Chain A
Amino acid sequence: MTITRTTLWLLLLPGVGYLVLFFGLPLVLALLTSLGMGTIGTNEGFTLRHYADLFSDSVYRDGIRYSLYISVAPTLASLAVALPLAVVLQATFPGKKLFLTLYKVPLVVPGIVAAFIVMILFDRGGEMSRILKPVGLSLPKLVRDDWSLGVIIALAWKSIPFMTLIIGGALASIPADLAAAARSLGANRRVVFWQIELPMALPGITAAVLLVFVGSTGAFAVPSLLGPIYPKPLSVWMYEAAYQQNDWGLATAMGIVMSAIACAVLLIYYRLTHGLNRAIGGETR
């Protein structure tokens, strides 16, 4: 049987159609709206006004920078915890079963609840400072602080188990014989990790990093509750533009910029890990 062009399209329709309908179409609509040709809000004809507004206003420029900050920092913080954790969880130790259950709890806790937990624990006069006071210790400011540490903690807290799960899966799928072979060739545990296990788990690590990064980019509840008064992330400005100023053109322009930035970061990250793979695993061929 030869597959004709038409049958090929018919075969592809369910998958491609889904993508077009639920991903492509909204994106195109958002893009049109941001260019003044939208179906929501006022239709004013093609204009780059919204983008000009966005980039000329320092409030929004700070917003972009801040959005980037609160997606990159929690991602790095999660990675810093999840990678060692995933490695440790490859070994067997007493109480492992219980730990495996407990560490996944944040997975089922919504972001807004996580934000409240951090607030209750770490805000001035929160549980932690009450506990630490008698010992003579005081916590640095963690809620609405300049460095958004509270935001980073809450977002990382939520994504650490997710990352650990993915990276742990990637590590577990590496055949044990590879490490044994490397050891017998003279490599110690550290070398085995850096030269064998890490490069082989890199696709899993990359996937985990990207998913967490994209997830944090659009975070709304956590920065609203725990972030400083200023700057605010683009997600919060978007909300205000759309629902308080009814300026859908500006809101969708922010959305498009945010997506573009996320894509750019993903591309840069791919290039970096590709380079990393070459550096630690040697040339890929």
Chain B
Amino acid sequence: MVANVQIIGLRKTFGPTVAVDDFSLTVAEGEFVALLGPSGCGKTTVMRMIAGITDPDQGQITLSGQRIDALMPERRHVGLVFQSYALFPHMSVARNVAFGLKMRRQTAGQIAVKVAETLALVDMSSYADRLPRELSGGQQQRVALARAIAIEPRLLLLDEPLSNLDAKLREQLRDDLKALQRRLGITTIHVTHDQSEAMALADRVVVMNAGAIVEVGTPRDLYQTPKTRFTAQFLGHTNIIPARVQFGRMITPWGELLGAAPLGAGAVQLSVRPEDLGLAACDQGAGHVTEVTFLGAEVEHRIAIAGLMLRSRSSGRDAPVHPVGTKVVLSFPADLHHLSQEPAL
């Protein structure tokens, strides 16, 4: 009974604050979508409106053709995992997981079987009789997830489920979560402000800022060919270089980029990832190294050129290291990318 989701024109204001504006999104059956954006951009508000905990001012939410935006939350059959986990503190792990099943008037036998099955799924079988306060953060997170999936929801909503965990555990639970979602095939919307989490988990990423959707795409497309400066900068680091296209030639602040295919017309903004920006020592070079940082797997150079500050990263054991002050020339990838939805500077 996995559903597809269609959201049209969702809007919510709190007094003068526009928390969510004109939010439209379609999620296919079984798809894993991540809502990615900085803190306060309205991600939680979107989730709460889908779950029915917050009433939207405007907009429609449809699950597999059924309008749900006027339904009480208990009628929506949507699983929700909170950032705070929101486990019932006075109930054991097993009773937490059983809660939704009891509400569905299943028999004690059915409930016992389902609880055992779900706890096994999240590897928490041996903790069934513990109280939430007797569990670690990661264990509580698993129980919260188990409680949400036990009711076999049509849609699973995860609101920053991993953000209260330390980095190592976060990575492990992230992998577990992905495996579980693939296995169960539940349509999932996952909220996060962590771009690597969004990219690792999701089939598609929805980038949000200030209550509105900025861009939607696969992790790869958003990373490699972002249309906006916001997306380019939010998903990792990038160098933004203002340029002009004149007579089929690409002109940067320090001169023509030889061999670059012209993109767009007039003024454009190029976005070049640090790992795509090549670097070679050259006495006639227009730039010079201002800082070198060894990051373990990579070496990062900062280069000052024509009033811009650019980053270049190279990886591998033999990655060359240029001392501060070295004059350098830059090399660009053949398929230059520019931010097509960004107004010209």
Residues of A within 8 A of B (CB): 175, 177-178, 180-188, 191, 195-196, 199-200, 277, 281-285
Contact = CB atoms under 8 A, between A and B. Distances in A.
Contacts of B84: 175, 177
Interface residues of B, number: 32
Interface string B97-128: 00110011000000000000000000000000
Contact of A281 (B80, B87, B91, B129): B91
Classify the interface of chain A: helix, strand, loop or mixed. Answer: helix
B100 A199 contact: no
Given A175-B84, A282-B95, A285-B131, A184 B76 contact: yes
Nearest to A192: B74
Contacts of A188: 72, 74
A175 B85 CA distance: 11
A196 B86 contact: no
Given A186-B100, A285-B131, A181 B82 contact: yes
Please provide the 6 A-B residue pairs with the shortest distance between their CB atoms, ordered closest to farther. A186-B103, A185-B100, A177-B86, A181-B86, A183-B73, A184-B80
B82 A196 contact: no
Contacts of B73: 180, 183-184
Contact of B86 (A178, A187, A191, A199): A178
7 contacts: A177-B82, A178-B86, A183-B72, A185-B100, A200-B89, A281-B91, A285-B92
A191 B103 contact: yes
A180 B91 CA distance: 16
Contacts of B82: 177, 180-181
Contacts of A184: 51-53, 73-74, 76, 78-80, 148
Contacts of A199: 90
Contacts of A277: 90
B7 to A, nearest CB: 17
B56 to A, nearest CB: 16
Given A177-B86, A178-B88, A186-B77, 19 more contacts: A175-B84, A177-B82, A180-B51, A181-B80, A181-B86, A181-B88, A184-B53, A184-B73, A184-B74, A185-B99, A185-B147, A185-B151, A187-B99, A188-B72, A199-B90, A200-B89, A200-B90, A282-B91, A283-B92
B86 A175 contact: yes
Contact of B90 (A182, A191, A281): A281
A182 B89 CA distance: 12
B48 interface: yes
Contact of A186 (B51, B92, B151): B151
B74 A180 contact: no
A277 B91 CA distance: 10
Interface of B: 48, 51-53, 72-74, 76-80, 82, 84, 86-92, 95, 99-100, 103-104, 129-131, 147-148, 151
Contacts of B78: 184
Nearest to B92: A285
A170 to B, nearest CB: 13
Contacts of A191: 103
A255 to B, nearest CB: 38
A187 B99 CA distance: 9
A186 B104 contact: yes
A183 B99 contact: no
B86 to A, nearest CB: 4
B74 A187 contact: yes
Contacts of A285: 92, 129-131
Contacts of B53: 180, 183-184
Nearest to B77: A186
B197 to A, nearest CB: 21
A171 B9 CA distance: 36
A59 B82 CA distance: 62
Contacts of B95: 282-283
Contacts of B131: 284-285
Contacts of B51: 180, 184
Contacts of A181: 80, 82, 86-88, 147
Nearest to B103: A186
Contacts of A196: 88
Nearest to B48: A180
B44 to A, nearest CB: 11
A284 B90 contact: yes
Nearest to B151: A185
A2 to B, nearest CB: 31
Nearest to B99: A185
Given A180-B80, A184-B80, A282 B86 contact: no
